[in-house]
Amino acid sequence: MKNKLWAVGIAEAAGVALYIALFAFLVEKISLFAKGFAPTPMTSMVLFLLAFSVSALICGLIVFGYPYLLLMENKKREAVKIILWTAGSLAIILLIYVFVLVGV
């Protein structure tokens, strides 16, 4: 198990990145479908906060679900290492996106 902590972190980061890409894709397609829809400021705020809250919950479960189980098994060091690997992997994915996909 100890040797595979990096793989779990990378997989969790990939899961978060995939979720974000899927969410962005769906929002873009929905906005194209609802071209004539002009929400009020109140509706916009509610939609944004609901989407943000659901996204925070999903990303939190992806990133902290397995480390939480390890923490409950008193494997604190492994849980922290996975979270650090996930954070580092997400940072690398962000850099790849900025420098390669965006073309900076």
What pLDDT digit, counting tens, does each position of 36-95 carry? 778 899 998 999 999 999 999 999 999 999 999 999 999 999 999 999 999 999 999 999
Q: Is the pLDDT reported for residue 11 higher than 70? A: yes
**CA–CA separation, 71 and 58 (whole Å):** 19
C-beta separation of 70 from 51 below 8 A: no
DSSP state of 75: -
pTM of the shown model: 0.86
At 102, which helix (H) or strand (E)? none
Domain ranges of the chain: 2-101
pLDDT of residue 87: 97
- The helices-and-strands tally (H runs, E runs) of the chain is 3, 0
Which two structure tokens, joined as six digits, stand for 33? Answer: 């479908």
Q: What's the pLDDT score for residue 101?
A: 80
